[in-house]
A = this chain, B = another copy of it.
Amino acid sequence: MATTLLTIGEFSRMTHLSVKALRHYHDVGILEPAEVDPHSGYRSYGADQVTPAQVIRRLRDLGMPLDSIRAVLRAPDLAARNREITDHLERMERQLEQTQAAVSGLRALLSAPAPRARIEFRTIPAVTALAVAQVVTVADFAAWATEVLADLTGALTATGLAVAGPFGALFPGDFFELERSEVTIFVPVTPASETRVSETRVSETRGGVAGLPAGGRVRLTAIPGTEAAVAVHDGPADDVDRTYGALGTVVADRAIGVDGPIREYYPDGIGEAGPPRTEVCWPVFRTAGD
């Protein structure tokens, strides 16, 4: 039974998709016309393609990229289809949260003066830590950090190591400059006596710790010490750049910045209960005046 065929113009009027969009969807294989005249190139659409076209229109209205739409349309079953869609809705939700944070952050920025960060200089000792290091982008950092925290918490239990300080993270300079670099999240531990090793030994024996799964990404690592100018950021994570700005200004004015990753510590722990405080540590070379 041949279904009624429609010209691209008729099909456009019926679906409220522009002719240009329909041709594009053909080009990228998202909505192939039922027939294409081999001589003239004229496209013909079937009446049964109206519903798929309407689905496409709504997914585009949701801001879903064409690649994801293709995945939805070609999903082998309802579960896979729903996964694609809910994944996208979650992405949108995260974006909405970011937008809301930007609104309130902007209000704060325009109404309040720049926070004159209270800055202290601190000597941070080297420690042994359970750590995960991976190349991530700024955009992916929050989601990645959540996973890593779960892994580190699991590793603490598995190894029985005692926590020796707050969770922290190392950000190489180019993480902010390129929006992508190898970030380390760590939790300092007191190694049990039988696993206590020199820093060198630790680096050499990465992963060779009882309780750490061999294939996992958590490693027992040496986190180097540093001298740093430290400011506490008390507020939403999205506004941490204000503290970076205030801290960087002071360092540029009054101290000698040195190489080495910027680090953050989370002294309140990291839970879902409101924004935790963040200690931002900017490596410096201390002079007598500090």
Selected from B61, B177, B244, the residue in CB contact (under 8 A) with A238 is B61
Interface contact B105-A252, CB-CB below 8 Å: no
Q: Is A142 an interface residue (CB 8 A)?
A: no
Closest to A47 in B: B249
Contacts of A35 in B (CB 8 A): none
Interface contact A54-B257, CB-CB below 8 Å: no
Contacts of A101 in B (CB 8 A): 61
Closest to A282 in B: B13
Docked CA distance A50–B109 (Å): 11
Contacts of A63 in B (CB 8 A): 99
Q: Is A12 an interface residue (CB 8 A)?
A: yes
Contacts A13-B176, A178-B19 given; does A99 touch B54 at CB 8 Å = no
CB distance from A139 to the nearest CB of B (A): 11
Interface contact A245-B105, CB-CB below 8 Å: no
From A2-10, A187-195, A207-215, A218-226, the one touching the partner chain is A2-10
Selected from B54, B114, B173, the residue in CB contact (under 8 A) with A13 is B173
Copies of chain A in the complex: 2
Q: Mark A42-76, 1 if CB is under 8 A from B, else 0.
A: 00000100110111011101110000000000000
Interface contact B51-A13, CB-CB below 8 Å: no
Q: Is A146 an interface residue (CB 8 A)?
A: no
Docked CA distance A18–B244 (Å): 14
Closest to A110 in B: B55
B-binding residues in A (CB < 8 A): 4, 6, 9-10, 12-16, 18-20, 47, 50-51, 53-55, 57-59, 61-63, 85, 89, 92, 96, 98-99, 101-103, 105-106, 109-110, 114, 138, 173, 176-179, 238, 240-242, 244-249, 252-253, 257, 262
New A-B contacts (13) at CB < 8 Å, excluding given A16-B241, A47-B253, A58-B109: A4-B253, A10-B257, A15-B241, A16-B244, A55-B106, A55-B109, A55-B110, A57-B241, A58-B102, A58-B105, A59-B106, A62-B103, A89-B103
- Can you list 26 A-B contacts with CB-CB less than 8 angstroms, sorted by A residue number? A9-B177, A13-B176, A13-B244, A13-B262, A14-B244, A14-B248, A15-B245, A16-B138, A16-B244, A18-B179, A19-B178, A20-B178, A50-B114, A50-B249, A53-B245, A54-B109, A54-B242, A55-B106, A55-B109, A58-B109, A59-B106, A61-B98, A61-B101, A61-B105, A62-B106, A96-B96
